[in-house]
Amino acid sequence: MNKNPQTHIIDGKSIAARLRETLAEEITRRNLTPGLAVILVGDDPASHVYVRNKMTACEKTGIKSFEHRLGQDSRKEDIAALITALNNDSQVHGILLQLPLPPALAMVQDALIQMIAPHKDVDGLTVTNAGKLILGMPDGMVPCTPQGSLLLIKEIQKDLTGCHAVIIGRSSLFGKPMGQLLLAENCTVTQCHSKTRDLPSLCRQADILVVAVGRPHMVKGDWIKPGAIVIDVGINRTPEGTLVGDVDFDEAVKTAAAITPVPGGVGPMTIACLLRNTVRAAGEL
């Protein structure tokens, strides 16, 4: 890797730590007791790691966490009953249904998400919160990974007015809400996907390039416009066990003005923004 000496490696770990400190100070100053409930269904090893990381972050920040583990063979009715109980629990300000659910529940996953009370939907996935984001209503919950990605972009450039932002990915979990957040920042947004023609050419036009497709090293160095801000949301494990992003970091770092590493970029911000949404929910009740 011959890094451009002027390229800024965006340190998501330190930025997330700073956000958690700010949240801890707000909890103390406002005498809040935020509560986050996480529902973990099944035995997926990655989900168990993610939940453990979230619980640890809650503890360090001053948020009370409630972990609810349900078995692999749980029924929709079991999860629905738990969500209803948490909706009515005054100690719980945020509810997170850890995804993915076991394959047998895949068909009812969205229905269960929609059962979460919108004001406790700290993942921002309910129809109510998605609609508020599209309409630009400030009282909605914004999904954590797009929210964290925007904060990382604004660490590099505060005013994004007129920037051309290219997003690779159109999922409801990330791509679509990311587009809405950048539109709200007065960017011109191009949303790309698997059917997009001449993707490299579009990427070369991007002042801000955000990549979330789940394909290791898909975006090559010569796809990057000189001076671009590159946000790599992908987390992929190679056959050797190494974590890599969707962007070929070693190549892109030679051209980009700023780029997130994998790991240590977007990931820590996702958890920090989950805590941010929980504190916000507690403060608004």
The catalytic residue positions are 54, 98, 123
Distance from C-alpha of 81 to C-alpha of 74, rounded to nearest angstrom: 11
DSSP 107-162: GGHHHHHHTS-GGGBTT--SHHHHHHHHHT-TTSPPPHHHHHHHHHHHHH-S--TT
Answer whether 252's CB lies under 8 Å from 219's CB.
yes
CB atoms within 10 A of CB 88: 9
| Residue (of 280, 285, 258) closest to 7 by Cα position | 258
Distance from C-alpha of 159 to C-alpha of 150, rounded to nearest angstrom: 12
